[in-house]
Structure 1
Amino acid sequence: MTTTMYTAERVVSTNGIEINYDSFGKEEHPVIILIMGLATQMVFWDVRFCEILASKGYRVIRFDNRDIGKSTWCDSANPPSHLTLLASVIFGRALDAPYSLNDMANDTLGLMDSLQIKHAHIVGASMGGMIAQLMAINAPNRVKSLTSIMSTTGNRQLPKPKLIFLKNLFKRPPKQADEFVTFGLSLWQALHGNTYQFQKEKVSELLRLSVKRGLNPKSNIRQLAAILSSGDRTQALKAVKTPSLILHGDDDPLIPVACGFATAQAIPYSNIKVYPGMGHTLPDELLPQIANDILELIGTAS
């Protein structure tokens, strides 16, 4: 593979905050925007994955969501208590969140505006998939194609995470670097599953890089509150006409594969592909296939 043009990290101001991003590929090429999941920095979008997409004639942009990494932290807004979050998960009680997934979708649109991008192919993983869905719902003229990876519609009746992951969602990550890496490794390995080799050294490096870029322990609670407060998108997704692809692993312990099927069922112009043995990560062995599946969707949308 030839060396892909890389544009180093930069910051733009939009929607009242600053968003940090980088990109792969030439600026004049059609754009693919990658949206990462809960409390996870943009560096977890694998560089090789970005380069595969860019090598096919696209500009690939990844960025830190608000409250994470080098983008603006929302520390002035106190997160809901753990008890309030738990009541929302178990009983479906209303939740007053510091910001919503709609706000985060607007952040992405604002990033596009700042970079003078009229429309893009949107790819979101987990919470990022939820944000991508809202972009297709609220700004269909800006979304040329939608890829929702290991995500869900927000319907509370769908299968829930395994209990161990519910507990981890409510934990505040350690502040010390070594403890954070140990905590993160345990969580990522559990999410990864046993089918594909877990790249311990690679994930350790990414976790340490995350510490260097900026560790915001309260962001996971605020972002989780954004997810829980944003409601069920099922009915709104039924009006989406954007060419869409739903990707999911059949061994996902955090967002069970039934949630992927529900998403595909809700979006009329969608296809679903399930990867056997994949958990709630993107295994190195599957990156070329996942990239190819996304490129096929983009080809039909274009």
Structure 2
Amino acid sequence: MPQLNANGLSLHYELSGPEDGPAALLIMGLGGQLITWPEPFCAALAAAGYRVIRFDNRDAGLSTRFTSLGKPNLLKAGIASTLRWPLRAPYSLDDMAADALALLDGLGIASAHVVGISMGGMIAQLMALRQRERVRSLSLLMTHSGHPWLPGPRWPIRWRMVRRPGLREREDIIRYSMQTLQLIGSPAFRPDPAALYAQIARQYDRSYHPAGVARQTAAILAAPDRSAALRALRVPTLILHGQQDPLIPVAAAHQLLRLMPQARLELFEGMGHDLPAPLLEPLAAHIVAHWDSSASAG
């Protein structure tokens, strides 16, 4: 798997699809790796003629780790965020957006369709706000604007996100991760336990880095509200969200639709905060249609 020096760090990435196809950058969410994107989903995007780019964000997968910055206290950070107190993180979502733009630079790509999921959707927004000309279109999956008064997850989920147990054994960590994904996942599309185990085990064996997840979480909690800036952002935007998302409730999608001048919204009944196998084909189809229509309009 190739790597590239970008923004002062090493980013691991993967390319698929025709070399001369329009570029499409996929940005993963909290703690996710490039292999977290389901293969059938990526294959559908590439089969539509697009050059698909996946990469490991900083502090995830095989990209640069920021061990020297220490592990933040997420309980204190969560309390500060809830009370709207100032919060300093080891690095910011803006830094992560700069990483993604530098990756495009390193690959010689002037502009790309950008797809972001959860935290990746926040990074995608910042990419477009920083350098609008680099973003052909946005596809925002299960994400939000950072507005402080949006409804958040239920307290059991919120507590689970900031209080991770000190598990050390591989099997214990995999089982705990399975429980978390089942808690926030799609109620109408429950994954096969064996398939979910295999997915998490593959990610664990490639890279297990809980301190990086904590630093990324702090970056999310410290991020300022993007609502005002998004009102002025004119970029073709597709918002995709599950009606039953327990981590980022669907109200966040409706708010993005109200904010963004060129946005449209597709909701999925029974979908939570994951990418269930039965919905991969329709999700990919919506995104490809969005890319095609953006190119025609452009």
The answer to whether the aligner puts 1:179 opposite 2:185 as a matched pair is: no
Q: How does 1:246-257 map to 2 (within 5 A)?
A: 246-257=239-250
Map of 2:215 onto structure 1: 222
How many positions carry a matched residue from both structures?
294
In the TM superposition, what is the alpha-carbon distance from 1:86 to its structure 2 partner? 2.3
Map of 2:92 onto structure 1: 100
In the TM superposition, what is the alpha-carbon distance from 1:264 to its structure 2 partner? 1.4
Map of 1:196 onto structure 2: 189
Q: How far apart are the structure 1 equivalents of 2:281 and 2:140? A: 17
List gaps (5 residues or longer) in structure 1: 1-8
List gaps (5 residues or longer) in structure 2: none
Question: For 1:158, which of 141, 150, 158 is the aligned residue?
Answer: 150
Structure 1 range deviating more: 106-115 or 189-198: 189-198
Shift of the 176–291 alpha-carbon distance from structure 1 to 2, 3 Å rule, reads: same
Q: How far apart are the structure 2 equivalents of 1:92 and 1:198? A: 36
Structure 1 range deviating more: 89-98 or 121-130: 89-98
Deviations 1:48-72 (A, max 9, x none): 1000010010111111110011011
Structure 1 range deviating more: 92-101 or 167-176: 167-176
The answer to whether the aligner puts 1:259 opposite 2:278 as a matched pair is: no
**Secondary structure at 2:25's aligned position in 1?**
strand
The answer to whether the 8 A contact 1:175-1:217 is kept is no
TM-score (norm 2): 0.96
Q: What letter corresponds to residue 50 of structure 1 in structure 2? A: C
Structure 1 range deviating more: 78-87 or 268-277: 78-87
In the TM superposition, what is the alpha-carbon distance from 1:179 to its structure 2 partner? 1.1
Map of 1:72 onto structure 2: 64
The answer to whether the 8 A contact 1:67-1:74 is kept is yes
**Secondary structure at 2:69's aligned position in 1?**
coil
Q: What letter corresponds to residue 144 of structure 1 in structure 2? A: R
Q: What letter corresponds to residue 290 of structure 2 in structure 1? A: L
In the TM superposition, what is the alpha-carbon distance from 1:126 to its structure 2 partner? 0.3
**Cα RMSD (Å) of the superposition?**
1.2
Map of 1:289 onto structure 2: 282
In the TM superposition, what is the alpha-carbon distance from 1:227 to its structure 2 partner? 0.8
**Secondary structure at 2:240's aligned position in 1?**
strand
In the TM superposition, what is the alpha-carbon distance from 1:29 to its structure 2 partner? 1.1
The answer to whether the 8 A contact 1:25-1:58 is kept is yes
Deviations 1:100-122 (A, max 9, x none): 00000111111111110110000
Structure 1 range deviating more: 121-130 or 19-28: 19-28
The answer to whether the 8 A contact 1:172-1:218 is kept is no
**Secondary structure at 2:181's aligned position in 1?**
helix
Deviations 1:8-28 (A, max 9, x none): x21101111111111211222
The answer to whether the aligner puts 1:268 opposite 2:222 as a matched pair is: no
**Secondary structure at 2:150's aligned position in 1?**
coil
Question: For 2:114, which of 122, 133, 149 is the aligned residue?
Answer: 122
The answer to whether the aligner puts 1:40 opposite 2:32 as a matched pair is: yes
